[in-house]
Structure 1
Amino acid sequence: MVENRPFLNFLTHFVLIVGVAMVVFPVYLAFIASTRGPSDFLTGVVPLVPGDQLWANYNYLLGSGESTAGAPPFLLMLANSLWMAIMIAVGKIAISILSAFAIVYFRFPLRVPAFWLIFMTLMLPVEVRILPTYKVVADLGMLNSYSGLVIPVIASATATFLFRQFFLTVPEEMMEAARVDGAGPLKFFRDILLPLSRTNIAALFIIMFIYGWNQYLWPMLITTEPHYYTVVMGIKRLASVLDGDTQWNLVMAGVILAGLPPVLVIIFMQRLFVKGLVETEK
C-alpha cells in the first residue's frame, strides 16, 4: 500500500514546478523580446510584458530577412532546415533498419565483424572525420547543394544498433512461420518486422529529426551561398552583425520560429515516442 504523505507530495510538486519554470522562463523571455522594437533593449532592462511589434517583426523576418547580416528570408531557411531534417531522419532510419535486418537474419561471412565495425564509428567524434568527409564531398561536386547537406550525415550506427537489438527480441517462430507460409525475406520484413518496429521507428524519427534540425557545423562548412543556409546558421548570422547593433528582437523571433517545428513533431508523435522508448515486450 502506498502511504499518503502530504509533505512529500508538496515537495515533489514544488520541485516539478520550479523545474518547469526554469525551462519555460527563457522561452517566455525570447517570445517577449520578439514582440518588441530594437530600441527597447538599449536601456539594459529586459521587459517582461509583450510589445506591439509582434506582426511587424515576424513579417519582416519571414518575408525579406536581414540582408545586412547576410541572412536570407527566414522562411527559406526554415524550408531548408525542414527538408534537411526530414531527409536525414528518413535516410538514417531506412539505411539502419535494412542494415540491422541483414545483420540479424542473413548468414554471410564477417557478419559479426561488420556490425562491430559499424558500432565502432560511435567512438569517432564528428570533428575527427569532418575534414576527410569534406574532401570527399568537394571532390564529388556536392558543395552548396542539398545532397551535400544530407548524404554525408545520413548513416547512423546508433539506429543500426537499436534496430539490431530489437530484431533480436523478435521470436524466431515468427520467421519460421513466415517461411512455412512461403514468405521471402522482403515479405517477412515488410509484413512482420516493419509493423512491429512502428514505435521504434517513431522514437528514432523524432531523435534523428531534431539531430538534423540542429545541424550547424556541417552546413556552415559546405554552404557559402545564402540560398542553402539553414535556420541555425541564420540565427548565428542575425546575432553576428559587424556594422551595427544586433537587433535582438529579430534574433529572438528567429529563435521562436526555429523551435516550433521540433516541438510540433514531438507533440504529434508523443504517444508513439514514449511507447517506443519504454516498450520492452513485443
Structure 2
Amino acid sequence: MVENRPFLAFLTHLVLILGVVIVVFPVYLAFIASTHGPGDFMRGLVPLLPGPHMIENYSFMLNEGISSAGAPPLSIMLLNSLVMAILIAVGKIIISILSAYAIVFFKFPFRLLAFWIIFITLMLPVEVRIIPTFKVVSDLGMLNSYPGLIIPLIASATATFLFRQFFLTVPDELMEAARVDGAGPMKFFRDILLPLSRTNIAALFVILFIYGWVQYLWPLLVTTDSRYYTVVMGIKRLAATADSEPQWNFVMAAVMLAMLPPVLVVILMQRLFVKGLVETEK
C-alpha cells in the first residue's frame, strides 16, 4: 500500500506538471506561430501570445494552400489522410479478428504454423520490403489511387496476435453452450465474440488509426498526383518551401489542423481505449 505523504504527493504532481509543460510547450508555440503573419518571425523573436491572423491563416490553408509547394489545399490532403487512416484501421481489424478466430476456434492442419508465419511478418514491415511491394503495386496499376495507399498496409500481425491472445481466454464452456443452443460458427462469432471484443477493437482502432494517419514514406512513393497527397506529405512539402520563403505561419497552421483528427479520436474513444488495454477478463 502506498503511503499518503504530502511531500511525495507534491513531488509527484510537480514532476507530472513539468512533464506536461515540456510536451505541450512546443505545441503551444506551433499554435502561436499559426496565428501570426510571416513578418513576425523575421524580427528574431518568437512571440508568445496569439496574433490576429488565425482565421486568415487557417482558412487560406484549407481552401487554397501554398501553390509554390506543389501541394493541393489542406482540405484535400486531410480528406485523403482520413480515408487512408480509417480504411487501414478497419481493414486491419477485420482481417486480424477473422484470422485470429480461425486460428483459435477451428481445428485444421498446420494452424499453429500459419499463426507463426503471420507473426514472423512483424520482422518485415513495409520499409523493409519496400521495393518488391512497390513493384507489385506498380504492376497492378494501383499507383496514385486509394487501393495503392491502403492495401499494402492493411495486414497486421500485431492485431492478429492480440486478438488470438484474447480469444484463448474465452472459456470453452461458452463455445459449447452456444453450440448446444444451435449457434453456428458465424453466429457465435457475431453474437458472442464481437461484443466481448468491443474494448479490444476500440483500443486497436485508436492505435491503427494513428498508424495510418502518420504514414509518410509509403504515400510518398506511390503518389505523384497531388490529388492523392496525404497531410503528412503536404507538411513536408510546405516546410521545404518555407526554407527559401519563410511562411512558417502557414506551415504551423497545417500542423495544427493535421493534429486535430488523431487527438479527437483519442479523446472520443479514451474510455474504451483504456479499458481495452488494461482489462484482462471480460
The residue that corresponds to 1:262 in the other structure is 262
Cα deviation 1:17-71 (Å, max 9, x = unaligned) = 0000011101100000000001111122111001001011001100011111111
The residue that corresponds to 1:272 in the other structure is 272
Distance in 2 between the 1:32 and 1:87 partners?
33
Equivalent residues in 2 for 1:202-281, closer than 5 Å = 202-241=202-241, 244-281=244-281
- Segment of structure 1 superposing worse, 116-125 or 269-278: 116-125
Query: 1:238–1:246: 8 Å Cα contact kept in structure 2?
Result: no
Cα shift at 1:125: 3.6
The residue that corresponds to 1:103 in the other structure is 103
- Segment of structure 1 superposing worse, 120-129 or 245-254: 120-129
Q: 1:110 to 1:25 in 2, by over 3 A?
A: same
Cα shift at 1:123: 1.4
Q: Does 1:22 align with 2:22?
A: yes
Structure 1 SS opposite 2:129: helix
Distance in 1 between the 2:46 and 2:263 partners?
25
Distance in 2 between the 1:279 and 1:4 partners?
27
User: Which amino acid is the alignment partner of residue 15 of structure 2?
Assistant: V
Query: 2:92–2:156: 8 Å Cα contact kept in structure 1?
Result: yes
User: Which amino acid is the alignment partner of residue 46 of structure 1?
Assistant: V
The residue that corresponds to 1:141 in the other structure is 141
Distance in 1 between the 2:2 and 2:157 partners?
43
**Unaligned runs of at least 5 residues, structure 1:** none
The residue that corresponds to 1:39 in the other structure is 39
Query: 1:104–1:164: 8 Å Cα contact kept in structure 2?
Result: yes
TM-score by length of 1: 0.98
Distance in 2 between the 1:148 and 1:4 partners?
56
Cα shift at 1:3: 2.9
Structure 2 SS opposite 1:127: coil
Structure 1 SS opposite 2:127: helix
The residue that corresponds to 2:65 in the other structure is 65
Distance in 1 between the 2:134 and 2:173 partners?
46
Q: Does 1:84 align with 2:84?
A: yes
Cα deviation 1:185-237 (Å, max 9, x = unaligned) = 00000000000000000000000000000000000000001000000001001
**What is the root-mean-square deviation in Å for CA atoms of aligned residues?**
1.1
Query: 1:71–1:234: 8 Å Cα contact kept in structure 2?
Result: yes
Q: 1:105 to 1:244 in 2, by over 3 A?
A: same
Q: 1:218 to 1:2 in 2, by over 3 A?
A: closer
Identity of aligned residues (%): 76
Distance in 2 between the 1:203 and 1:75 partners?
27
Cα shift at 1:127: 2.2
Q: Does 1:155 align with 2:155?
A: yes
Cα shift at 1:244: 3.5
Cα deviation 1:71-97 (Å, max 9, x = unaligned) = 110000000000000000000000000
Cα shift at 1:243: 8.7
Structure 2 SS opposite 1:86: helix
Q: Does 1:129 align with 2:129?
A: yes
Distance in 2 between the 1:154 and 1:18 partners?
38
Query: 2:97–2:159: 8 Å Cα contact kept in structure 1?
Result: yes
